[in-house]
Structure 1
Amino acid sequence: MNNKAVILGCNYYIGLSTIRCLGINGIHAVAVDYTANHNYGAQSKYCSERLIAPHYKNDKKAFIQFLKDYARGQSAPPVLIPCHDNYVEVVDEFLEELREYYLIPQDVPGIYTNLMNKEILHRLASENGVAVPETVRVDEEQFFEKVELILKYPCVVKPTDSPSFVAKFRKKLFIVDNRAQLVEALEKSKQAGLEVIVQRIIPGFDDHMYTFDAYLNQDSKVTNWVTCQKYRQFPINFGASVYTGQKYVQELYDIGAPFLEKMKWKGFAEIEFKKDAETGQFYLIEVNVRITNLNSLLYKVGMNIPYLTYMELTGTPPQPSALKSDTNRVFWYGYEDLLAIRGYIRTKQLTVGQVVKSLFKPKAYAIWSWSDPKPAFGFLRMITGKILRRS
């Protein structure tokens, strides 16, 4: 096919898995980064072209111009696939402009950002009958009294704009155990110019976290879907998946599919849920609107999201599919899982025996591939360099 696939952000395993999912099907995969350092995803044998663009933060207009200039030089419009939240935000801001040059699933400016924004997402979910954790907004009257009466301590202080918060604090949220810690967390957020909300912690260990991973066609109908269950995440308790298994849960589809369709969503989305350990109710936690951390797992169990996206946008609608059985296969990001395991054992949330027993499952590796090993060696060099600089 003449249409290339332009992948934004290949210095992480999400970009790597996207390149592999496309390249293995003969698609010309173009890796775009703002530096050649640490972009180990671009070292994949399935990467056909490597480009260094202006930094999307330092010079946003130059970055967009770079993308447009590249597309102008192609014989057919490329498919644009952002693999990091920051790239998604930039694409959303310039969506109408970029759609003149690229094939992109969404056609409504702001739709990406609305589902990424925790406060807007909370409102949209509530309006559509989807349960979300009880929330108190900072500007509400009797704020502290509501936190202590409705949410109770401990609770979490979450950003409305997660990428900016993570970039500043290197964590997804603040956990607070009392009013003094809450005041401190609010002040830190205010000083950083970041808006936050305060939410109740849904009871349950990390294995009560689930995902609904879905592809919606250009008519905003779910055509392909898989559900998964987290086992471990990093940072522990409130982090990203590092050991997650495919697990069929029909209820997640029953909740998630109607919600995404009502949002008029197009393309891929992943809804994260938490199951209340006391009531069994599923609560919507967040929506990931770019290729997921679990992409290599989804591919292994039969749902190739980057390729589905590419095929539909270039004129071949995907065949519907739903995985309604358990494969026992898990996604494994070994490096951060080792750090997570240390944390779980130190806090006595898991025993060594429980961890060892869990490891004997067929894997979908985040980085390693016997047929495409070079990115893993690039990742190893990067990690080794970081460790040496710290010592």
Structure 2
Amino acid sequence: MVRVHTLFAQESVIVGDKVRTDVTTDPMAVIYPDNLAALGVCRGLGVKGIPVTILSADRTAPGQYSRYARRVACPAQADEAEFIEFLLRFGQAHQRYAPVLFLTDDNAIVTVHRHREILERWYRFPMASWSVLRRVMLKDHLYRSLDGVVPLPHTRFPEDESELADAVREIGGSILVKPLLRCLTGSSDTSSLPFEQCFGSKAIRVRTLRELTDAYRAACARGFRVVVQEEIEGPISSLYSLGLYATRQGEVAAAFTSQKLGQVPPDFGDGLVVKAVRARELIPLGERVIRHFGYYGMADVEFKWDARAGVYKLLDINPRPWLWINLPTACGVNLSYAAYLDAVGRPIDPGGFVQRDFETRWVSIRGLLIYVIRSLGTGWRCTGLLPVLRQFWGKRVGPLFCTKDLLFRMFLSPMYWWDSFLQASRGIRRLHAAPGAINGRPFLTE
């Protein structure tokens, strides 16, 4: 571990050279892994003067190039023992003011929480314990626990193939196959691909017992356990989200509501266009969920409006920063800062976290490019492209561009461009490989 000790010594010099961080007594925020959500958290904290360190093993990730952050190279998460040892030594090197540790993807949450009891000696966690998180993150626990608490889609939890026929008869119509967790939890192999990279989407739509059986076998072969759920009819615009921060006392101290207007893949994907909207009726539903679990931390609670039943039905909860975490910040609800304040024991003034903007849209140019490439490469119809493009007009923010943080270091880094080229080449090959096909029949149909 000599290399790690040397790294810390070098970084302490770098910190000393930064006027912004050399005299602060604010505990550092440490963000891992580096991704678009990490960049949003970094900017949300940086504008408040909080010193930010991003741990990164990937030179193409954007957060490390922010003017608000310093980068510390870390081991790849796939080597769990080395990665946790690195976190311990980093925490010990900054023990005077225990850093606040922000985790920005599911793999990181699962990996780090296997060692949280040890890591809590050196870090503050702005999120609930694993005993709570597992009930939120694992979909079988999530839906079973919330039955009767909030409206839910009809869901079955098959243990083997013999139960699939009953699921088809009970649910009927269009059925979705979803993983219990998007990353694999039964193995310490954190390099395993998440569900959407294996199958090209966050869920698999099936309509017959044969299709359900094929999808079930394919998921099991990849190591995923699944739930089988009714698909709620309705356009993408029926998808709503409640972003919130809940305190350790179970109070929702900050809340933000939004609506999806486009996503990629177009059926079950990540946000492409997300609009801030006034949907206050989601907040009491979110509060009910938070109190039921005893959860605290940031969360993105996803709903879909079921026009037939006349209710919002809960689809999922992401207990971490998400792709468009900078949209709430742009609209006056800096959830990252609320999480930081609570983690360091400072009061959260509700008046400072009020959504005042209900028009701004979050749009992803990269997502649009992926949408077009997949349309051409996998035979999707492009009829939905023009309506999506119309949603790009108006007041908007994006995941990367920010006038106060132009990421000059990223554009000037040769390693960024070379690694980006290599990753893009691999990504395009995957996109043209028709992901999610079984026996020549694609899962994703329109």
TM-score when scaled to structure 2?
0.80
| Conserved? CA contact 1:96–1:109, under 8 Å | no
| Conserved? CA contact 1:136–1:143, under 8 Å | no
Q: How does 1:131-150 map to 2 (within 5 A)?
A: 131-139=151-159, 143-150=163-170
Q: Which amino acid aligns with 1:202?
A: I
| Conserved? CA contact 1:89–1:112, under 8 Å | no
1:141-180 superposed Cα distances (whole Å, 9 cap, x missing partner)? 9623323322224211111011232354453222213222
1:349–1:252 CA distance, 2 compared to 1 (3 A) = farther
Measure, in 1, the Cα distance between the counterparts of 2:62 and 2:132.
Answer: 30
Q: How does 1:178-193 map to 2 (within 5 A)?
A: 178-193=208-223
Between Structure 1 and Structure 2, how many residues are aligned?
385
The alpha carbon displacement at 1:5 in A equals: 0.7
| Secondary structure in structure 1 of the residue aligned to 2:317 | strand
The alpha carbon displacement at 1:325 in A equals: 5.8
Partner in structure 2 of residue 350 of structure 1: 384
Partner in structure 2 of residue 372 of structure 1: 405
Partner in structure 2 of residue 80 of structure 1: 101
Partner in structure 2 of residue 44 of structure 1: 66
Measure, in 2, the Cα distance between the counterparts of 1:373 and 1:39.
Answer: 14
Measure, in 1, the Cα distance between the counterparts of 2:225 and 2:201.
Answer: 15
| Conserved? CA contact 1:18–1:306, under 8 Å | yes
Partner in structure 2 of residue 93 of structure 1: 114
Q: Does 1:295 align with 2:325?
A: yes
TM-score when scaled to structure 1?
0.90
1:351–1:77 CA distance, 2 compared to 1 (3 A) = closer
The alpha carbon displacement at 1:196 in A equals: 0.7
Q: Which amino acid aligns with 1:311?
A: L
% of aligned pairs identical? 23
Larger Rg over CA atoms: 2
Measure, in 2, the Cα distance between the counterparts of 1:337 and 1:201.
Answer: 25
Q: Does 1:19 align with 2:42?
A: yes
Measure, in 2, the Cα distance between the counterparts of 1:323 and 1:340.
Answer: 33
Q: How much is the aligned-residue C-alpha RMSD, in angstroms? A: 2.5
Measure, in 2, the Cα distance between the counterparts of 1:17 and 1:106.
Answer: 17
| Structure 2 residue corresponding to 1:307, chosen from 337, 360, 375 | 337
Q: Which amino acid aligns with 2:219?
A: S
Q: Which amino acid aligns with 2:393?
A: F
1:382–1:229 CA distance, 2 compared to 1 (3 A) = farther
| Secondary structure in structure 2 of the residue aligned to 1:162 | coil
Q: How does 1:55-66 map to 2 (within 5 A)?
A: 55-57=76-78, 59-66=79-86
The alpha carbon displacement at 1:346 in A equals: 5.4
| Secondary structure in structure 2 of the residue aligned to 1:110 | helix
1:232-264 superposed Cα distances (whole Å, 9 cap, x missing partner)? 111111011121011111221121112112211
The alpha carbon displacement at 1:204 in A equals: 0.6
Q: Does 1:120 align with 2:172?
A: no
Q: Which amino acid aligns with 1:203?
A: E
| Conserved? CA contact 2:363–2:396, under 8 Å | yes
Q: Does 1:5 align with 2:29?
A: yes
Measure, in 2, the Cα distance between the counterparts of 1:107 and 1:256.
Answer: 16
> Structure 1: 5+ residue runs without aligned partners?
none
Q: How does 1:100-111 map to 2 (within 5 A)?
A: 100-106=121-127, 108-111=129-132
Measure, in 2, the Cα distance between the counterparts of 1:250 and 1:65.
Answer: 44
The alpha carbon displacement at 1:358 in A equals: 2.1
> Structure 2: 5+ residue runs without aligned partners?
1-24, 185-194, 430-446
